[in-house]
A and B are shown apart, each in its own frame.
Chain A
Amino acid sequence: MGHNGAAITGCGAALPERRLTNRDLEKMVDTSDRWILERTGIRERRLLEEGLSTVDLSERAARDALDGAGIKPHELELILVATVTPDYPLPAAACCLQARLGAFRAAAMDVAAGCSGFIYALAVADQFIRSGAYRNVLVVGVEIPSRIVDWSDRSTCVLFGDGAGAVVMQPADGERGLVAFELGADGRGREHLYIPAGGTVLPTSAETVQRQLHYVKMNGTEIFRFAVRIVQETLERLLEKSHLDYGDLDHLFLHQANLRIIESIRKKLRLPREKVPVHVDRYGNMSAAAIPVALFEEKAAGRLKEGDLLAAVAFGAGLTWGGILMRW
């Protein structure tokens, strides 16, 4: 039997202790605190300590989310990990996390939709719950970009940071829960943000490594234009299909890639600052972890309250985009 809806019943976040400031970056590449701050709004980002990997950060966020929901790992039926930086190229990060948690009754898979991954995964969880297939789903958004960026390329290495966020989704038959989702992709833009080598086009070889093709390459201007446009289109579609208006939103959670993108959108929509949480200044772009970390922080700060209507919209490599409307 299906359910009328699915809601977030617990959330958690985990950030590495180690901070990397813009000043630190000045010593590594030809950049300046001023350039980074003006173009991106980023002041510092976190870096995962050597010796730790994706699963270490995911586990901390996941355990907090499970505690919040009041369930034990063995009650989980599905684990979805949104990431493009798994512990190994094979198998999925979700399997590493399943073993770490001891959640052996759960199916486990990754959702690789770049920075939109967490939104994609929430929609997947929502559908499994509505269909009646599962009741307890763990959704993690985790990214360790520090392990895939080229630390000698100033145009990308200053932008990203490591982090993890997690939520538990369960059936909800009242007002609470996911109201609508909107997902999309345009694979024609796949090379605007990609890693050339290490896949079947260019398997890893001494030559690909020597040519630095195993690192992230990005066309920043294309992504900027895409982001500003697609977030507004996605929001409009979400609101339209739910017969709601911008004025009904209590919070707009945007993917945290660049403050300039966030501000451009916020100003066009004429939303006040309090409704659009920002943490990119402290954490940089944490890809799929950005939105769950923001949910956790807003809830912990008491700003995200039961009954609030929120939208969350992300965009990223693929190109992909995704948005949800949710009654908290």
Chain B
Amino acid sequence: MNIEERVKAIISEQLEVPLDSLTAETTFEEIDADSLDIVELVMALEEEFDLEISDQEIENIKTIGDIVNYIESRI
């Protein structure tokens, strides 16, 4: 799986949304994720990709693509 697929799989499991409904353009607002969902998601991503994502960086994340780009730039 590439990074985008891994990120989507985690989001789908964590937020209980169908995998095939997720694209790089999907925003967290669209899938009804609130700030605590995002905190949990970030924790799952940190574990999966073995990196640390700061609170400031979390604020800039709006879409799934933003996360993928951020992770790609870090590993």
Task: Spell out A's residues near B (CB within 8 Å).
Answer: 38-39, 221, 224-225, 228-229, 260, 264
Contact = CB atoms under 8 A, between A and B. Distances in A.
Interface of B: 34-36, 39-40, 43, 55
Given A39-B36, A228-B40, 11 more contacts: A38-B34, A39-B35, A221-B35, A221-B39, A221-B55, A224-B36, A225-B43, A228-B43, A229-B43, A260-B36, A264-B40
16 contacts: A38-B34, A39-B34, A39-B35, A39-B36, A221-B35, A221-B39, A221-B55, A224-B36, A224-B39, A225-B39, A225-B43, A228-B40, A228-B43, A229-B43, A260-B36, A264-B40
Of B34, B35, B36, B39, the most chain A CB neighbours within 10 A belong to B36
Nearest to A228: B43
Contacts of A225: 39, 43
B33 to A, nearest CB: 12
Contacts of B35: 39, 221
A229 B39 CA distance: 12
A260 B38 CA distance: 12
Nearest to B37: A260
Contacts of A264: 40
A264 B43 CA distance: 11
A228 B36 CA distance: 11
B45 to A, nearest CB: 13
A221 B55 CA distance: 9
A38 B37 CA distance: 11
Contacts of B43: 225, 228-229
A285 to B, nearest CB: 15
A56 to B, nearest CB: 35
A221 B42 CA distance: 12
A262 to B, nearest CB: 12
A39 B37 CA distance: 10
Nearest to A221: B39
A221 B40 CA distance: 10
Nearest to B40: A264
Contacts of A224: 36, 39
B5 to A, nearest CB: 22
Nearest to B47: A229
Contacts of A228: 40, 43
Nearest to A229: B43
A190 to B, nearest CB: 18
A260 B35 CA distance: 11
Contacts of A260: 36
A38 B34 CA distance: 9
Nearest to A39: B36
A287 to B, nearest CB: 20
B54 to A, nearest CB: 11
Question: Which of B34, B40, B55 counts the most chain A CB atoms within 10 A?
Answer: B40
